[in-house]
Amino acid sequence: MALPEGWEMVCGLEVHCELNTATKLFCSCPNDFGSEPNTNVCPVCLGLPGSLPVLNAQAVELAIRIGTALSCEVKPSIFARKNYFYPDMPKDYQVSQYDKPINVDGFLDLPDGSQVGIERAHMEEDTGKSSHVGGNGRISSSTHSLVDYNRAGVPLVEIVSRPDIFSAEQARAYAAELRGILVATGASDGKMEEGSMRVDANVSVRHPGDPLGTRCEIKNLNSLRSLVRGIEYEAARQVELLESGKKVRQETRHWDEGAGRTRTGRVKEEADDYRYFPEPDLVPLAPDAAWVEAVRAALPRLPAARRAALSRAAGLEPATELVVTAVERGIDAYVLDAVDALDAAAFAALPEHERVVVALADDFVRDAAVVGAEARTALNRAVNDLPPEASVDVAPFAALVGLEVSGALTATQAKKVLEVLVERGGEGDPAAIAAELGLEAMETDTLVTAVDEVIAAHPGDWASYVGGNDKVAGMFVGKVMKATKGKADGKVVTALLQQRRAAESG
Amino acid sequence: MASATAVEVAASIRAGTATARQVLEEHLGRIAVRDGELHAFNEVTGDAARVAADTVDARAGRGEDPGPLAGVPVALKDNLCTRGVPTTCSSKILAGWKPPYDATVVQRLAAAGAVVIGKTNLDEFAMGSSTENSAFGPTRNPHDPSRVPGGSSGGSAAAVAAGFAPLALGSDTGGSIRQPAALCGVVGVKPTYGLVSRYGLIAFASSLDQIGPFAASVEDAAVLLEVIAGHDPLDSTSLDRSGPDLASQLGRGVAGLKVGLVTELTGEGIEPEVAERTHQAAAALEAAGAVVREVSVPSLTYGLSAYYLIAPAEASSNLARYDGVRYGLRTTGAEDITQMYGATRAAGFGPEVKRRIMLGTYALSAGYYDAYYGKAQKVRTLIVRDFAAAYAEVDVLLSPTTPTVAFPLGAKTADPLSMYLNDVCTIPSNLAGHPAISVPFGTGAGGLPVGVQLMAPALGEATMFRAAAVVEAAARHLAPVEVR
């Protein structure tokens, strides 16, 4: 959805992620999602009088992982108190970082080549969770509220981007890339639906070249889809307001996924006064430079590098959707493992004397085109036909890809075999399953006969095709498929049709 | 009122010549006779104390070492968390709240064989200098019940002075141990910030609060401090070191020690008798071989102003949690959460607490932060610097603990500023995080106790206690004061 001519959307994202620590930020309570309410609590995270916070070293390390992965400068930092009253906040202040955050001035490169600046990625504690009982579930109509403090004190890192995002799609790509980094580094599980990654969007619009317009903060964006829809809606709403001579009011707005619109939340008449001041119960945090370097050196391969590796193997561009999706879904290593398995199988298939030569040569490198075709086939099957929650062992998956690449199975047939593999818990022999299902790619002779029969049965359409009308090609492929009960490979049929036409017009 | 010291009590119990139970019953007997008048205690925990005393006796009976404070009754300021025992901060807002845990110092006392005898009265949330700001009524000075015991740890000071317990713990944010110690004629210590764990001390101003001992003698105070000091992993501001060795150093004297008499704290605003006693203490140190000279620490005069911005600022945040949601008082009948907050806090806090919350909230507000809180922190830095310069010249500093002797109840309640001036001599040590001790040194106007204060640089407790022991010894030979 594009904005009307002459308008530009500017967006910055604030992403809160819950860190994957064993315990909370300032006490030894378990950091668990989904426990019975108010079971993971103690005097510290309940803010009982006299209790004091002690910083969790694992949380600091994960924050440094995030910072280094985002190319931030990791700096000496201090914690501050953000003071405001709310029942789900046991101390009525939140321990956060304010003017001296741990990570500053980083950036994130997106698959499309754009770069989004990271202003800061600071540490803070999460609040508890309120649920409002009675009425429509909102606080205003409820009869009473319940508070679960299990989440109170869970460690968070808030990653604040610069306003470097100019489309909803770019915002989606940023959030997806960030999630990939959080998951890859083990810092967070990045689950938007469980709230372990929460994205707020600051959206404004302007005429290109103008200063930034008045922004609204969009909350309740609980999925990447909501993020895209929410931002698109909000930008369009602001343009409409401005074009009709009205003004955008700075406010917090909530995305209503069901209604497909944002609604006004809290109006910010003036900036909130949180009366920040340094948290006197904690000492300044000054991570040792050697520690920071050790954390940086131990970072796993990040999504950009993984896209590069996968795209190289498959002979594709890193920004190709298949590649991006595979890395986003974290199945790139699986695809490459399958290619390795095929490689190993090819090596094992060599005659004895050749294997010795290859082993002496230290590295068994097959034809790049073959490997690329295998990687592309594996990518296709894994991204398009492997359900996200399914798990299929690498060996049968590799074997299946091998059958498809060799032409023993068509794409359609391979997909069917994969479905059965998934149904059977990810184990089994794809060749045996194909036989069981009566699936085998047709012998070329049989297929040529079928093609010739269809041509003979439709002389008029054939003449038209030979005369250059490509539109009827689809009809011919369809008829052949029907005649062969789907066993034919569509690509092969198309090739045969083109061969026949070339011969006739030759 | 005089009775055996804590060291003597523990020694006799360990030697089997007395039992913890006998000692406890003696003290409970004194409390029964006189605490109705003095109101040092918010709650006397006699039953739990008897159980604890019997445990000590049983251990001694089995030949085990029951600890350095075996069977010594200890009174706890009622802002120290005690598991299952109401901990009120002398405030209505904590009505009915029983902590589910013991403060670290309480655990250490128990491990040392001490017997907690009760929870003592204080100015609400430790905000005050007379213990008149208690929601449960004031404590009276055992030397003259028409007068205040000082504050905010007035209950603990009065308990030791009245012989209700040989030892007590208080908390000192701007003088809340030393000032009542001086006014009640007992020893009071504010340790180096971070030497004693604050875990379980209900916060007033976190960067200034420190728990410390009250005792009838310098030696008792040293032993108690040894027991409660040392690193605690539950307090991030706790210093990473073991407790100091103090009691064994007391007899080493002060020969060659350099003592600075603080110019800014011996002149204007100090009652003549109190100033005279301070000079006598200086003379006593000199007679014992110390080198005494006057030292100027110019920024100290700004300490009071800085303190009354920093302490309320931190308090405004520390006391936010008393909102009626989770524990303590909650008023009924409110329409919504905001009304409930307001009504609960209006009903639960006394006027001095409200005054400081408002002051602190204002000092932290956007647009005022730099002018107030920010500037106060700069003054704090300046004081630390001036102290450092002074300690380059001398080993310890000497001053009065308070400007006056104990004043009558009600004399200063209408004028908060005159009340605040009580802490002018004690506040600088809190701002700097340094240790200081108040030692009784004769009497002043009306025959009431006077305290002198010895200050030392961070972790200078051992030297400070040595000087304190010399001052204490000299105090035994003092004649009635004559103003020069």
> How many angstroms away from the CA of A218 is the closest CA of chain B?
25
Residue B107 in contact with partner chain A when CB distance is under 8 A: no
Q: Write out chain A residues lying below 8 Å of B87, CB-based.
A: 49-50
Search chain B and give the residue with CA nearest A81: B317
Candidate from A53, A55, A277 with C-beta closest to B373: A277
Does any CB of chain A come closer than 8 Å to the CB of residue B135?
Answer: no
Q: What does the alpha-carbon distance between residue B152 and residue B139 come to, in Å, rounded to a whole number?
A: 10
What amino acid positions of B are annotated as catalytic residues? Answer: 77, 152, 176
**Distance in angstroms (rounded) separating the CA atoms of residues B420 and B274:** 18
Residues whose CB is less than 8 angstroms from the CB of residue A210 and which lie 6 or more positions away in sequence, other chains included: none
Band of residue A272 on the pLDDT scale cut at 50, 70, 90:
confident
Give every CB contact of residue B356 below 8 A, 6+ residues apart in sequence: B127, B311, B312, B315, B316
pLDDT of residue A370: 82
User: For B454, phi and psi rounded to 5 degrees?
Assistant: -110, 130
Query: Hey, what are A394's tokens?
Result: 């690498």
* A80-83 β-sheet, strand order: A93-96, A80-83, A277-278
Report the alpha-carbon distance of residue B353 to residue B345 in Å, rounded. Answer: 10
B19 close to B72: Cβ distance less than 8 angstroms: no
Residue A485 has pLDDT above 50, yes or no: yes
pLDDT > 70: percent of chain A: 96
- Condensed to tens digits (0 to 9), the pLDDT of residues A155-196 reads 999 999 999 999 999 999 999 999 999 999 999 999 998 889
pLDDT of residue B1: 38
- DSSP SS3 for B450: strand
Of the candidates B353, B357, B416, B358, the residue with the CA atom closest to the CA atom of residue B134? B353
State mean pLDDT over A331-346: 90
CB contact B307 to A (< 8 Å): no
Of B201, B365, B373, the CB nearest to A50: B201
**Residues in chain B within 8 Å Cβ distance of A143:** none
> What does the CA dihedral A307, A311, A312, A315 come to, rounded to 10 degrees?
-170
ipTM: 0.96
Contact A398, A338 (CB under 8 A): yes
**B406 close to B287: Cβ distance less than 8 angstroms:** no
CA A455 to chain CA centroid, Å, is 47
- Count how many residues are written for chain A: 506
Report the chain A residue with the minimal C-alpha distance to residue B337: A87
User: d(Cα B146, Cα B376) in Å, to the nearest integer?
Assistant: 37
Mean pLDDT, residues A370-376 taken together: 88
A107-164 pLDDT tens trace: 999 999 999 999 999 999 999 999 888 777 666 677 888 999 999 999 999 999 999 9
Q: Model confidence over B212-245: pLDDT tens digits? A: 999 999 999 999 999 999 999 999 999 998 889 9
Nearest to B468 by CA among B396, B391, B394, B403: B396
- Phi/psi at A30 (5° precision): -65, 145
Q: Which amino acid is at B479?
A: A
Per-residue pLDDT for chain B (484 aa), expressed as one digit of tens each? 347 899 999 999 999 999 999 999 999 999 999 999 999 999 999 999 999 999 999 999 999 999 999 999 999 999 999 999 999 999 999 988 999 999 999 999 999 999 999 999 999 999 999 999 999 999 999 999 999 999 999 999 999 999 999 999 999 999 999 999 999 999 999 999 999 999 999 999 999 999 999 999 999 999 999 999 999 999 999 999 888 999 999 999 999 999 999 999 998 889 999 999 999 999 999 999 999 999 999 999 899 999 999 999 999 999 999 999 999 999 998 888 899 999 999 999 999 999 999 999 999 998 899 999 999 999 999 999 999 999 999 999 999 999 999 999 999 998 888 888 889 999 999 999 999 999 999 999 999 999 999 999 999 999 999 999 999 999 998 887 766 5
Q: Which of A44, A48, A96 is the best residue to mutate to test the B interface, defined by the most B CB atoms within 10 Å of its own CB?
A: A48
Q: Which of B80, B203, B237 has the CB atom closest to A283's CB atom?
A: B237
- Cβ pair A90:B323 closer than 8 A: no
Question: What φ, ψ does residue B441 adopt, rounded to 5°?
Answer: -140, 80
Cis ω before B207 (30° cut-off from 0): no
Q: Mean per-residue pLDDT for A185-211?
A: 94
Question: DSSP labels for B25-54?
Answer: HHHHHHHHHHHHHH--EEEE-HHHHHHHHH
Distance CA B81, CA A63 (A): 34
Interface touch B314/A280, C-beta < 8 Å = yes
Least confident of A29-38, A139-148, A466-475, B346-355: A139-148
pLDDT in tens, A275-326: 999 999 999 999 999 999 999 999 999 999 999 999 999 999 988 999 999 9
Q: Do B364 and A50 touch (CB under 8 A)?
A: no
Region of residue B163 (phi > 0: left; psi between -120 and 50: alpha; otherwise: beta): left
Which region holds residue A159: left if phi is over 0, alpha if psi is between -120 and 50, else beta? beta
CA atoms of B429 and A56, how far apart (whole Å):
31
Q: Which residues on A lie below 8 Å from B200 (Cβ)?
A: 50-51
Q: Which B residues in the span 342-361 are in contact with A, Cβ-Cβ below 8 Å?
A: 361
- Nearest-Cα residue of chain B relative to residue A271: B366
Cβ contact, residue pair B321, A92, below 8 Å? yes
Which residues of A fall within a CB distance of 8 Å from B341? 85
Return the residue in A42, A85, A147 with the most chain B beta carbons within 10 A, the one to mutate for interface testing: A85
Output the six-digit token pair for B420.
């605040």
| Cα-based distances in Å from B467 to A121, B65, B120, B276, B437 | 51, 31, 29, 18, 10
- Set of chain B residues whose Cβ sits within 8 Å of the Cβ of A280: 205-207, 237, 314
Query: What gap in Å lies between CA A315 and CA A33, rounded to an integer?
Result: 41
CB A403 within 8 A of CB A377: no
Mean predicted confidence (pLDDT) in A332-356: 85
Please tell me the predicted confidence (pLDDT) of residue A268: 55
What is the rounded distance in angstroms from the CA atom of residue B384 to the CA atom of residue B364? 22
**pLDDT(A500) > 60:** yes
Do A47 and B327 lie within an 8 Å CB cutoff? no
- Asked if B237's CB is within 8 angstroms of A281's CB, the reply is yes
With a cut of 80, say whether residue A97 has pLDDT above it.
yes
Residue A114's φ and ψ, nearest 5 degrees, are -80, 160
**Tokens 């903060």, residue?**
A217
Which of B209, B239, B326 should one mutate to test binding to chain A, selecting the residue with the greatest count of A CBs within 10 A? B326
pLDDT tens for A402-452 read: 988 888 888 888 999 999 999 998 888 998 998 888 877 667 777 888 888
3-state DSSP helix/strand/coil % of chain B, to nearest 5:
45, 15, 40
Distance separating alpha carbons of residues B190 and B438, to the nearest angstrom: 9
Distance from CA of A221 to the nearest CA of B (A): 27
SS3 of chain A: helix, strand, coil, percent, to 5 = 45, 20, 40
Measure in Å the smallest separation between the Cα of B321 and chain A Cα atoms.
Answer: 5
Mutation pick from A29, A95, A272, A277 vs chain B, by most beta carbons of B within 10 Å, is A277
Answer whether A201's CB lies under 8 Å from A227's CB.
Answer: yes
Tokens representing B424 are: 């002018």
Judge: B317–A49 Cβ closer than 8 Å, yes or no.
no
Average pLDDT of chain A, as a whole number: 91
A90 and B313 within 8 Å at the Cβ level: the answer is: no
Q: Looking at chain B, how many residues does it have?
A: 484
Chain A residues lying within 8 Å of B321, measured CB to CB: 47, 49, 90-92
- Which residue among A52, A81, A87 sits closest to B199, beta carbon to beta carbon? A52
Q: Which candidate in A281, A282, A283 is best for mutational testing of the B interface (most B CBs within 10 A)? A: A281
Report the C-alpha gap between B395 and B258 in whole angstroms.
5
Instruction: Assign B212 to helix, strand or coil.
Output: strand
Chain B positions in Cβ-Cβ contact with residue A276 (cut-off 8 Å): 364
**What Cα–Cα distance (Å) separates residue A425 from each residue in A204, A337, B99?**
48, 19, 53
Cα of A331 vs its chain's centroid, Å:
11
Q: What element of type H or E holds A148? A: strand A144-148
As given in the structure block, the two tokens for residue B250 are 């007391």
Could A81 and B206 be called an inter-chain contact, meaning their C-beta atoms sit closer than 8 Å?
A: no
* Residue in this structure with the two tokens 């006799």, named with its chain if needed: B12
Interface check for B332 against chain A (CB to CB < 8 A): the answer is no
What pTM was estimated for this model as a whole?
A: 0.88
Contacts of B187 (CB under 8 A, 6+ apart): B181, B213, B214, B215, B216, B217, B218, B220, B221, B437, B438, B439, B440, B468, B472
Please tell me which of the candidates A48, A83, A87 has its beta carbon nearest to residue B317.
A83
Kindly write down the DSSP assignment for every residue of A404-452, as one continuous string: HHHTSS-HHHHHHHHHHHHHTTT-S-HHHHHHHTT--PPPHHHHHHHHH
CB pairs under 8 A between A and B: 97
Dist CA A49 CA B200 (whole Å) = 7
* A315 within 8 A of A377, measured Cβ to Cβ: no
Cross-chain Cβ contact B206/A87 below 8 Å: no
B98 to chain A, any CB pair closer than 8 A? The answer is no
For B51-61, give one letter per residue: b (16+ CB within 10 A) or e: ebbebbbebbe
* Amino acid identity at B34: R
**Residue B369 near chain A (CB below 8 Å):** yes
Contact assessment for residue A28 and residue A13, using Cβ atoms and an 8 Å cutoff: no
Contact: B364, A54; criterion CB under 8 Å: no
B316: nearest CA partner in chain A: A83
For residue B451, give the nearest of B244, B229, B214 by alpha carbon: B214
